[in-house]
Structure 1
Amino acid sequence: MIIIADGGSTKTNWCLINDEGSKINFNTEGYNPYFASIDYIINSLKHNLPADLPLDNISEVNYYGAGCSTEEKRNHVKTAMSAVFTKSQVNIDHDLMAAARALLGRQAGFAAILGTGTNSCLYDGEKITLNIDSGAYILGDEGSGCDIGKKLLIDYLRGYMPEAVKQNFWDTYKLTRDDVNEQVYTKPLANRFCAGFSKFVYDNMNVNLGYSHGLVKTSFQDFFRNLVTHYPNYNQHTFNCIGSVAYNFRNILEEVAAENDMKIGSIIRSPIDNLVKFHLEK
């Protein structure tokens, strides 16, 4: 038995492949090593993995995770995973590699992630050849769920929201200015907190389409201006992207890509199915 897992900052999608080739899918929270300690990951896995998961029979775990871009961070996650999957060979790689493999297979091209956070790269069919640092959620992550959520929260705190959207926001969350500041500046996982509001934007497109569309488009324009267009010959590649934000706001993403002379390739919500295919073929 082997496991393939795609871990974002918010959620991890797991697929167990048994000896007969059957697939069993399940989810846990995400484990970004910049925000989750080794003990936190271990405790979360012990409480959230399926109770009937045959840990002793799993020979290999292939985990692709947000934040796993350096050897130090990969070892951080590997230490935690190895404490739970004690009979398994644990392989840790970056979620950007998962995106590239799922979107492009063994073909060269451009791949990106627009989920809780942002990432992007050029890929030669085997390895990532160029990655412009997204800056993470405080310094960058333009185009991400966190970025969209931050823009929404700023408008809320400054009173820039249209009245109907503001009322709906209050009715949904009952958040005061102090509540927002505490969640962002005091409590852990502020990136996940901010990213959660991208769902509000999506769910409330019909309340004020112009406002919601403009907010998301501004975020995507920032993503292209500050990241995508800085890749050499970027518009000679198709735009391929993974993540719930890219998938849910695909129509707006297509607008911005066209404005930057870049054709859309594949946009998928989750890489897990394509990753499983990649590993089985491998």
Structure 2
Amino acid sequence: MMAIKLIADSGATKCEWCLIQPRKKSIFTTQGLSPYFFGSDDMLEIIQSEVLPHLKHTTAIDEIYFYGTGLSNMNHVKMMRSVLKKLFKQATIEINTDILAAARALCGHEKGIACILGTGSNSCYFNGKKIIKNSPGIGYILGDEGSGAYLGKKVIQYYLYNTFDPELMHRFNKKYALTPKEILENVYQQPLASRYLAGFAIFLAENRGHYMIENIIEDGLNDFFYQHLLKYKEIWEYPINFIGSVAFGFSDILQELCQVYEIKIGKIQQKPMPGLIEYHR
């Protein structure tokens, strides 16, 4: 009999779940379960209130595959395993990083480079079985080149330094109606600043074609290539694959950069879940 499986892919902002049963599957979304932002009690409460209602007509879960941000830290892994074990006592539980989720979703069982460009950024060389090399982001303050937080930070800089031309300043004010004081308070005094900054990347997507907007996108993504991708010798041999909202939204720029650097581009996907479902089936 086919095992009943629960797959989770959690970023800082939201977590996508898929329940796989013998003749059907169901996908649903909850808020992100990041160990950087939540303790075990908070996570337990979120799963009880947002996940369990989707499982109420399901018999016992046999296997859980939880992928998420912050899970290269073994203390975070232990915490996540403990939380899941309290609620799913009979299940076999596998806890993995979001970059392994990207690698499995993008490469399957083949060799390749897998990159995450979402709220944060990350990359790895995957040999078809495991991650051999990893060039992780170092957080939105020091790095995360090419990420939503990195690009959003550039938008804020252009706005606060009054670098945008009058047309873009008008569009920004019309969309956000924020004072510089409010922006700085949200960045420096409120939690989840990376999420807040990443929210401004949408301004880039909505104003494509303006030379300042295109420069921010191209420079931000090129920084990711320069600081991370060009340090893998494998990029000249295997395709480069991308996953995440930023990668999907600005796929044309990624394709152009791959042409400039003469490297082969592979898949560009918005989310890992379709690939993870295929992998775990």
Q: What's the TM-score bracket when you normalise by the shorter of the two chains?
A: over 0.9
Q: Could you say if the C-alpha distance between residues 52 and 15 of structure 1 is closer, same or farther in structure 2, counting changes exceeding 3 Å?
A: closer
- Give the Cα–Cα distance (whole angstroms) in 2 for the partners of residues 46 and 157 of structure 1: 42
Query: For structure 1, which segment, 49-58 or 240-249, has the greater mean C-alpha deviation from structure 2 after superposition?
Result: 49-58
Could you tell me how far 1:164 is from its partner in structure 2? 1.8
> 2:28: which partner in 1?
26
Please, what TM-score do these two structures have when normalized by structure 1?
0.93
CA distance in 2 between counterparts of 1:42 and 1:155 reads 40
Matching residue of 1:3:
6
User: What is the TM-score of this pair, normalised by structure 2?
Assistant: 0.93
Tell me what 2:268 maps to: 267
User: What is the SS of the residue equivalent to 1:51?
Assistant: helix
1:142-157 equivalence runs, <5 A: 142-157=145-160
Q: Within 5 Å, give how 1:120-139 maps onto structure 2.
A: 120-139=123-142
SS at match of 1:191: helix
> Equivalent residue for 1:248?
249
Aligned identity (percent) is 36
CA displacement 1:97-132 (0-9 Å, x = unmatched): 111111111111111111111010001111100001
Confirm or deny that 1:101 pairs with 2:104.
Answer: yes
Q: Which deviations, in whole Å up to 9, do the C-alpha atoms of 1:164-213 show, x marking residues without a partner?
A: 222221122221111111111111111111111112211222xx521211
Contact 1:145 / 1:194 at 8 angstroms: preserved in 2?
A: yes
What does residue 216 of structure 1 align with?
217
Pick one of 150, 153, 168 that aligns with 2:171: 168
Matching residue of 1:184: 187
Which SS does the other structure have where 1:16 is aligned? strand
* Equivalent runs, 1:221-236 vs 2, <5 Å: 221-236=222-237
- Aligned 8 A contact 2:8 2:16 in 1: yes
Matched letter for residue 266 of structure 1? K
Residues 121 and 136, structure 2, Cα contact 8 Å, conserved in 1: no
Which aligned runs of 4 or more in structure 1 are off by greater than 4 angstroms? Answer: none
For 1:43, the equivalent position in structure 2 comes to: 45
Shift of 1:87: 4.4
Encode CA deviations 1:201-244: one digit per residue, 9 max, x unaligned. 11222xx5212111111101100111110112423221101111
Structure 1 vs Structure 2 CA RMSD: 1.6
- Alpha carbons of 1:42 and 1:165: their partners in 2 closer, same or farther (altered >3 Å)? farther
The alignment partner of 1:49 has SS state of: helix
Q: CA separation in 2, counterparts of 1:168 and 1:85?
A: 49
User: Number of matched residues?
Assistant: 277
How many Å separate the matches in 2 of 1:231 and 1:79? Answer: 36
- Cα distance in structure 2, aligned partners of 1:24 and 1:133: 31
Q: 1:258 to 1:179 in 2, by over 3 A?
A: same
- Counterpart CA distance in 1 for 2:181 and 2:170 is 18
Q: Match of 1:215, as an amino acid?
A: I
**Whole-angstrom CA distance in 2 between matches of 1:175 and 1:115:** 24
Identify unmatched segments of 5+ residues in structure 1.
Answer: none
